[in-house]
Chain A
Amino acid sequence: MHLRAWRLIFAFVLSGATVYKLETRAVSVWYGSYQALKGVSLALERNQVLALIGPSGCGKSTFLRLFNRMNDFIEGFRLEGEVLIDGENIYAPQVDPVHLRRRVGMVFQKPTPFPFSIYENVAYGLRLQNRLPESQIRERVEHALRQAALWEEVRDNLKKSALMLSGGQQQRLCIARALAVRPSLLLMDEPTSALDPISTAKIEELIHELRQHYTIVIVTHNMQQAARVSDMTAFFYMGQLVEYGRTKDFFTNPQHPETIRYITGRFG
């Protein structure tokens, strides 16, 4: 903890400017001989929402999963370049990916509640760490459920199976589960693609709320969604970062012909 704080200050002084929450420097990724990302450089400030868009197979999910090292498990995964969170290279040899993942929350495409009770789902990440007294766990479970705007709906049913919840509720439960371990960065991989419009609207509202405390990276297939929820937008195509900028400029005044073709719906 101390070391990380010092490293932050050190990086701050060195750069003489802001330390970005997220930064990638010339990141290339291979799966075996297939190159999934080609020299992607990008930086994001604290408490911003970054939307990653692009057609299927463009590398946006690979890019997202760099930040909690979920790609490590894929056979043949190889990385060049640097991925930094708070100025720290998270692929440095001394970084333990398990510790990293406790600082970075992730929400997946389909809701993935564990077949336990609602309470135990949210407490799962807490129980993995230091032994907290049950009273403290209860407090943090409630806080996380409130943050995920689910508390009012489940407060009387905490002992019930999480599988009884609707799809939208399950996804908010997964968000609560990720928030309970108090990450500073939240990764979302198409979090609403399996949900109905009303549940989608709730999740988007939630992203608006969460942005006050978290930095969020969200992969989405839905360009309206990207426009609604994000501050910054990055467009990926065939493993390359084609265009990156403020969301409001991005959709009103795109620069690259590929971007224009994509957001006007001519391919993808």
Chain B
Amino acid sequence: MRYKAVTFVPKRWVEGLSTALITLISWVALGALGGVIAFLLYKGAGVLSWAFFTDLPRRGMQSGGIGPALVGSIYVTLVAIGVGSLVGTAAGAYMSEFATRRRIVRFLEFLINTLAGIPSVVYGLFGLALFVVALGLGASILAGGLTLALLSLPLLIRNAQEAFGAVPKALKEASIGLGASELQTFFRITLPIALPRLLTGLALATGRVLGETAPILFTAAVYYLPTYPKGLLEPTMLLPYHLYVLVTSGVDVRQTYPMAFGTALTLLGLTLAFTGLAAYLRFRLKRRYRV
């Protein structure tokens, strides 16, 4: 049998050159990322110590630590992700599993994509108007957390929708066929199998929320507080805003410069820790469910 002539066969040197180019570009991108981390380590590692994480800022933020900002950021993130994950997972479950009309889902998807495109400072203004003023929460951990929850919702909803949608339909049908209600099927089959993907989305959202600056500017953050936050309705120092303050509006910016790099490094470390945690959980659960 004769083979028909193939019209286009790439030359071997073209193949080789293209592959090399793609590899090179990838390494440049990865190098840039590594460069950022290395640069932060070089500039900021010097100030890192246990005291830096736990101490209050002292002498006009030129010495001491970032304790209140670190704790404040963790609180605000916990509120944001706590609320956001519940609402986001429920909404994603509705869109993927329970909505009966595809047109409604399409419409919701459109709305969510629109929300995802809104600049974060607009969320800040909205949070100020709704949570801080209208609901009377004041500038507080709760108001900031809720604002950030709103900001992370589009991401969390779409992620949950995709995670539930990726669970094989055959398994859901098998469960229904055995006499499970839709709700039983969701909690016993769909949710456990989707969990690894859900957690990954949660980690990405956590990283994003930790670093967001604009939404907390008007809703939670203060320039300087001499104490740790005491309650959900208190305002607090926060890492991203603290970083901004250290770089632009300290008493003596040159003196606070190393502190700024230490803060940036802390922020990066936290994000990496959350991502790593999710990757680990995902790995464990994936092995258990093997899907």
Give the interface of A toward B (CB within 8 A).
Answer: 68, 70, 73, 75, 98-99, 101-102, 105-106, 108, 110, 112, 114-115, 124-125, 128-129, 161, 163, 174, 177-178, 181
Contacts and interface: CB of A to CB of B under 8 A. Distances in A.
A174 B174 CA distance: 9
Given A114-B189, A115-B290, A128-B184, A177 B178 contact: yes
Contacts of A114: 171, 174-175, 189
A99 B174 CA distance: 15
B178 A178 contact: yes
B178 A124 contact: yes
B19 interface: no
A106 B177 contact: yes
B196 to A, nearest CB: 11
Contacts of B177: 68, 70, 101, 105-106, 108, 178
A75 B99 CA distance: 11
A256 to B, nearest CB: 33
A101 B101 contact: no
Contacts of A177: 174, 178
Nearest to A69: B176
A98 to B, nearest CB: 5
Contacts of B290: 115, 161, 163
B252 interface: no
25 contacts: A68-B177, A73-B176, A98-B180, A99-B179, A101-B178, A106-B177, A108-B170, A108-B173, A108-B174, A108-B177, A110-B170, A112-B173, A114-B189, A115-B193, A115-B290, A124-B178, A124-B180, A125-B178, A125-B180, A128-B178, A128-B179, A128-B188, A174-B174, A177-B178, A178-B177
B191 to A, nearest CB: 13
A115 B174 CA distance: 12
A161 B173 CA distance: 20
Given A75-B100, A75-B102, A129 B174 contact: no
Contacts of A101: 176-179
Contacts of A108: 170, 173-174, 177
A7 B179 CA distance: 22
B91 to A, nearest CB: 20
A128 to B, nearest CB: 5
B188 to A, nearest CB: 8
Contacts of B188: 124, 128
Given A75-B101, A110-B170, A128-B184, A115 B291 contact: yes
Interface in B152-191: 168, 170-171, 173-181, 184, 188-189
Nearest to A177: B178
A106 B174 CA distance: 8
Contact of B176 (A70, A75, A115, A174): A70
Contacts of B175: 114, 124
A124 B173 CA distance: 14
Contact of B173 (A70, A125, A128, A178): A70
Nearest to A178: B178
Given A115-B291, A161-B290, A181 B179 contact: yes
B98 to A, nearest CB: 11
Contacts of A124: 175, 178, 180, 188
Given A75-B100, A75-B101, A108-B174, A98 B289 contact: no
Nearest to A72: B176
A154 to B, nearest CB: 18
A159 to B, nearest CB: 13
B184 to A, nearest CB: 6
A98 B174 contact: no
A66 to B, nearest CB: 13
A128 B180 contact: yes
Given A98-B179, A101-B179, A125-B180, 20 more contacts: A75-B101, A101-B178, A102-B178, A106-B178, A108-B170, A108-B174, A112-B170, A112-B171, A114-B175, A114-B189, A115-B289, A124-B175, A124-B178, A124-B188, A128-B178, A128-B179, A128-B180, A177-B178, A178-B177, A181-B179
A209 to B, nearest CB: 21
B118 to A, nearest CB: 32
Nearest to B193: A115
